[in-house]
Structure 1
């Protein structure tokens, strides 16, 4: 058996035997046509726009955390809750995506999630008491979108390149949120309008996804078949995919949440810290694109996957014992952590046997993963407060990176699983 069959090529053997042309009509796992070439391209493009919306709500808060603390009178505990709340909400909201898709179809559920996100981004800045509830609502909307993108891509017969582009769109959104939030805050004279402005981007994604709603019939049928039944033989694979996603998410969101404060504590101003956070996302765009493609090649993954964790260990220890806010470290971490996220998304798609399996696998891996990430990020912030420094949290992140390497080394030995 070759590497692509072990790691789950998107095209089924039956499709390849029939010589289906991806530019005209693709078949879903059930054998139903998904979309013509032009309609499929439009649907994939709408998916990219959804992906761009799944990070600005988080990185914009990270870069404005100090300003928001002053504006809304947040104490250290509330500040930590605000930074970690969206990620914790991800874990709690993970089942909602499949449930919503079961009722209205994957594509309409994605559109609804973007409408909800636009509303949440506007509501959370109306008053001090709406900040946390609005952030929680935004987290729910983001999680629905993140959970349903893998089955949506699977139902469209997306190649590894398109899965990579979808993963890369998350990084684009993260970079936009990190780089533009402080300048917009200064332009408006307050952080609140800067946060609310991202609702425009979410509304655009909703309009794009509603525009493609008539075509992806396979996505709707996949949503109607979503069931979470994990056969005993599939449980090790599901557990390992979840572990990989959870560990990379914990590390990624810990950096995006606390990096600006770490840099400011070492002498950087807020704009420079936001710029480095944006660079952290920008430098990772190409690795995020490439990693899902490599996720289908077991031979390369044998060294590439665990190697990401090794480089992260070096980066976090370097940060812990070098007191200067070195852009080289941020660059290195941006490359490998973005690749780790792309790898996690790629494994969800490639290790699901079909679109109906991709939905529950995505919900489990991302739901548990983001819950772990949110709680872990909050714990690292508390560790910083307890030790009055960043060395202990960074050493802890190096240990987590080692666990990530082990999980990747184990998961690349697994075959695709069916969860229905």
Structure 2
């Protein structure tokens, strides 16, 4: 199937997905640099700060589980409106927080919207861009990477120049702008789904495991009624492929949230760097996700390089962790952090797999919810475990060994996720008709 130009008939969908992607990470990354400035206005205990740090993966998991039910009732676009509205309102209200309670409640509202948005974007990409999956997933994950490291760079300068409230609230502009394309599309009362199978049905022979649609199969292939969302989720829980993608996603999320919580402390402890350098090293870790976001989706969709990408990520992560554990000093720590920063390329890899390991956008919603909910639940535990191990041992050896063990454990799951088949294929091989 030949790909249509990206903008032809789909400009609003492109804008909606890009603005949503930016809001999903800027809403999270814009708070932590301002904690000290906020604490100067009202008390923030270490417990509150810890709960705010743990909240993202927990909220992402909870609301990720609820999103498929909402999507079945309202449709992808309407639920995206709800998600972006929650983010917009939450960002504005968080900027008006007067105490720790209101800060936590408004932050939870933001993360609820982000949790829904996380689930919705891969199916939306599959629905509107089945012929340009690689390009759109590249655009999506690249924007997410940029919106991860830009807010920490400008949050404090804006707060110093104006106030922390303006610094927190300005990101609502992007979420508000993200509402406009979806509103316009709904007002026009049309949904453009180029060359795609309707969500209500699934055609077993219409797509290969890399997301390419077969026009002959679309015209002649057998059609069967798709299972409901609850049945999809239950079936996914019985498939090694779905669990493997979830564990790959969870490993990437674990390394990201552990790093944002503890990497400055780790490099200070193992390499003796000062606080400023530790912050720059954290930015380096986040920046390493940008080239991965540019390359991974295209390499997977066009060249089926899933296994190679996964192994590069795992091996680089292990080398980086070993370097931090055994050979870190003020000079070499930059090398080890850069190598460790390649491990989260599993994040764009998992997002692409969500799109290409399902035949239809309906199945992709279920797979997205399953993968991200399980993954974020796994990720939620590790920042706490790392801190507990450090407190118990007064060293970073045990936490780094724990992270290395996680990477070793994920390797067989990554190899399973690399198999070129959809979840429907795997179900039919094991249990009969999907």
**TM, length-normalised to structure 1:** 0.82
The equivalent position to 1:174 in structure 2, one of 142, 145, 148, is 148
Question: CA offset at residue 330 of structure 1?
Answer: 3.1
CA contact (8 A) 2:57 2:379 kept: yes
Question: CA offset at residue 141 of structure 1?
Answer: 0.4
Question: CA offset at residue 95 of structure 1?
Answer: 2.2
Report whether the alignment pairs 1:39 with 2:41: no
CA contact (8 A) 1:179 1:277 kept: no
Report whether the alignment pairs 1:315 with 2:303: no
SS in 2 for 1:228: helix
Write the distance in 2 (CA, Å) between the matches of 1:183 and 1:278: 16
Write the distance in 1 (CA, Å) between the matches of 2:98 and 2:340: 36
Write the distance in 1 (CA, Å) between the matches of 2:393 and 2:31: 24
Alignment map for 1:286-297 (pairs within 5 Å): 286-296=291-301
Report whether the alignment pairs 1:184 with 2:154: no
Q: Which residue of 1 aligns with 2:191?
A: 216
Report whether the alignment pairs 1:333 with 2:334: no
SS in 1 for 2:422: coil
Report whether the alignment pairs 1:253 with 2:253: no
Write the distance in 2 (CA, Å) between the matches of 1:371 and 1:233: 15
- Of residues 379-388 and 50-59 in structure 1, the stretch that sits farther from structure 2 once superposed is 379-388
Query: Deviations for 1:295-346, whole angstroms, at most 9, x for unmatched residues?
Result: 3478633333123111111112322342548333333333332x21110101
Report whether the alignment pairs 1:115 with 2:85: yes
Q: Which residue of 1 aligns with 2:170?
A: 197
Of structures 1 and 2, the one with the larger relative CO (CA 8 A, separation 6+) is 1
CA contact (8 A) 1:178 1:274 kept: no
Question: CA offset at residue 258 of structure 1?
Answer: 2.7
Q: Which has the larger radius of gyration?
A: 2
- Of residues 89-98 and 68-77 in structure 1, the stretch that sits farther from structure 2 once superposed is 68-77
Structure 2: which 5+ runs fail to align?
Answer: 202-225, 428-433
CA separation of 1:298/1:381 partners in 2, compared to 1, >3 Å: closer, same or farther? farther
SS in 2 for 1:222: coil
CA contact (8 A) 1:94 1:363 kept: yes
Q: Which residue of 1 aligns with 2:59?
A: 89
SS in 2 for 1:39: coil
CA separation of 1:296/1:228 partners in 2, compared to 1, >3 Å: closer, same or farther? farther
Q: Which residue of 1 aligns with 2:20?
A: 50
Write the distance in 1 (CA, Å) between the matches of 2:41 and 2:400: 29
Aligned length: 387
Q: CA RMSD for the aligned pairs? A: 2.9
**TM, length-normalised to structure 2:** 0.80
Write the distance in 2 (CA, Å) between the matches of 1:289 and 1:234: 33
Write the distance in 2 (CA, Å) between the matches of 1:238 and 1:261: 35
CA separation of 1:334/1:66 partners in 2, compared to 1, >3 Å: closer, same or farther? farther
Write the distance in 2 (CA, Å) between the matches of 1:297 and 1:39: 23
CA contact (8 A) 1:81 1:378 kept: no
The equivalent position to 1:371 in structure 2, one of 369, 377, 380, is 377
Write the distance in 1 (CA, Å) between the matches of 2:197 and 2:124: 9
CA separation of 1:78/1:21 partners in 2, compared to 1, >3 Å: closer, same or farther? closer
Alignment map for 1:340-359 (pairs within 5 Å): 340-359=346-365
Query: Deviations for 1:235-268, whole angstroms, at most 9, x for unmatched residues?
Result: 1111111111111111122112333454567543
CA separation of 1:345/1:108 partners in 2, compared to 1, >3 Å: closer, same or farther? same
Report whether the alignment pairs 1:302 with 2:279: no
Write the distance in 1 (CA, Å) between the matches of 2:200 and 2:398: 44
Q: Which residue of 2 aligns with 1:33?
A: none
Question: CA offset at residue 200 of structure 1?
Answer: 1.8
Q: Which residue of 2 aligns with 1:380?
A: 386
Report whether the alignment pairs 1:282 with 2:287: yes
Alignment map for 1:234-253 (pairs within 5 Å): 235-253=239-257
Structure 1: which 5+ runs fail to align?
Answer: 1-15, 25-36
Write the distance in 2 (CA, Å) between the matches of 1:232 and 1:408: 17
CA contact (8 A) 2:134 2:302 kept: no
Query: Deviations for 1:9-50, whole angstroms, at most 9, x for unmatched residues?
Result: xxxxxxx3xxx65249xxxxxxxxxxxx53313312320111
Write the distance in 2 (CA, Å) between the matches of 1:403 and 1:40: 41
